[in-house]
Amino acid sequence: MELEIPLELSSEGLVEPKVLKKQYLTNHWHPINFACFMEDFEFVQLFFEQLNVHLSHALDVNPVKVEIDQDSNEIYPNKNRMLGLIFAVWTRNSEIVEYLWRKTGQYLSGWNFFQVFKQLLEIEHLEGIRKLLQSGVTFRLFLAMPAKNRAALFRNLRTFCEMKLPDVEEVQSWVEDFRVRVLEEADRLAALDATELFDAILKGDAQQVVNFVKQHRVEEVTLLTRYHGQADLSMSYTSSHDRKLQTIRAETMHPLALAICFDRLPILRFFVENLKVNLFYSLAKPGILDYSDTCDQRLQCFPLIFTVNAEKFETFQYLFEVPFSAWRVEHLRNLLDEVVDSGNPTLMQYLFKHPRTHVLFNYLAYLDKQLLIGYLLLGKEQHLHHLEPLLLEKPYRTPYVFYLLANPEESSLSVRFKPHFV
C-alpha cells in the first residue's frame, strides 16, 4: 500500500498555503508506525507501556538493512530510523511527539535531535520547536554530548535556521538561549572536582554516590572527568574476537564507565535507572566520540565486550537486559563475535536463547539472517560443536537450514549437519 502524507506549512503572507507531499510504501511498516501515522495516541501508549518493545528500533521502519558480510564496523545506518516519530511531527501531534521523545530519551543521539528539529523547521511548526528546546530530555542529551560534537551541532542548527526561516528571528533566539543554557551547565559540571565521586565508586559506596549527585545537581555523568585522587583510573582490555588491545585513558574515564569497569552494579543501576543518564553517549568507549559523531560499532558496545572479557557476567547480564534498547541490530554481529570467540558455552547458551537476542535477530531482513548464519558457520568453525544445537532452535533454525540448502558447495558443512534435516 502507498500512502501520501500532506505537509501543511505556514500560510502567513501567502495567497495560498504551501503544501508539500511525501509518499511512502507501507510494505515494511509495523503497528507502531501505523499508530503514529494515524495519530492514535492510545495505541502508541499501549504498545510502549504494555509490550516490552525495543525503544530505539520501535520507531524505525523494518526490516533493517545491515551489511553483515562487510568487515567495516563504521556503518551507521540512519535510513528509515525514527520514522514513527517523524510521522507524528508531520501531523503536528504534539501529544505523541512529546511522549515518544520522553519515552526514548535515554537512547537518543545528536542525529536524532537534528532530524526532529529539521522536520519541525520544514513544516514551520514554531510551537513544536519551542517545546523541543525546552524539553529536559533535549537538555540532558546536549549535556551528554562531547564538546566538539555539541559545538558542531549548534553550528548546524544556526545554519539550518538561517536557510529555512531567515525572517523568523524568534527561532534563532530560542536556539541561542538554549545554547547558552547548555554551555553554562556543561562548563559547571566539567569544572567540578569529582574526586569524591570517583573514590566512592571505587569503594562501592552507593549512598555516597547518591549524596554527591544530589549535592552537586548532576544530571549527566560524561562531563565528570576531573579526578585528583591516588587511584589509577586507566583501564585496558583485549577483545576475544580480534585480539586487539583497547585502552581507556584516565582523563577520559567518567563515573558510569568506572562503575562498569570495577563491577559496581548497584551504582551502575543508580546511573541507568534513577539518574537516567543518556546511554548513547555514556555507554560508548570513553573518549571515542570526542572528535567524531560516529565510531566503530564494536566500540559503541564497549560495556558488553569489556564485561565478557573481564568475566563480569552479572554486570554483562544487567547491561544486556536492562538498557537493552541501547543495543541495536547493527551491534548483533559484534556481540555474537565476542561471546562465541570467548569459548564460554554457558554464555553462548545465555545469549543465543535469550528473547532479547531473538528480537534483534528478527529485526534483520531474511537474507541478512541467512548471511549472519553463514558468517557464524564459516567463521566460527572451532566452536561449531557448541553452535550447532543453538542454531537448530528458533528463530535461527529456518534461515540456518535454508542457508545450507542454498550453499551446497559447502559440502563439509552439508555433510556435517545432514542428519538434522533428513
**pLDDT digit string (tens) for 134-186?**
999 999 999 999 999 999 999 999 999 988 887 778 999 999 999 999 999 99
pLDDT tens for each residue of 65-76: 555 555 545 444
Listed range (25-34, 268-277, 409-418) with the worst mean pLDDT: 409-418
Question: Would you state the pLDDT for residue 366?
Answer: 87
Domain boundaries, the chain: 2-38+82-186, 192-323
pLDDT digits (tens, 9 = 90+) for 287-324: 998 877 777 888 899 999 999 999 999 999 999 999 99
On whether the CB atoms of residues 256 and 286 are closer than 8 A, the answer is no
pTM value is: 0.88
Mean pLDDT, residues 393-411 taken together: 84
Average pLDDT over residues 20-30: 71
pLDDT at 14 over 70: no
The pLDDT of residue 11 is: 44
Percent of the chain with pLDDT over 70: 86
Please check the confidence at residue 351 and state whether its pLDDT lies above 90: yes
The mean predicted confidence, pLDDT, of the chain is 87
pLDDT higher than 50, residue 77:
no
Q: What is the pLDDT of residues 225-262, one digit of tens each?
A: 999 999 999 999 999 898 889 999 999 999 999 999 99
Determine the pLDDT at residue 419: 45
Q: pLDDT band for position 78 (50/70/90)?
A: low
CATH number of 192-323: 1.25.40.20
Average pLDDT over residues 217-222: 95
More confident residue, 281 or 7: 281
Average pLDDT over residues 8-34: 63
- The C-alpha R_g of the chain, in whole angstroms, comes to 23
Decide if pLDDT at 376 tops 90. yes
Question: Quick one: pLDDT at residue 206?
Answer: 97
pLDDT surpasses 60 at 215 = yes
pLDDT exceeds cutoff 90 at 90:
no
In 3D space, the residue among 288, 282, 225 whose CA is nearest the CA of residue 256 turns out to be: 282
Interval 373-378 mean pLDDT: 92
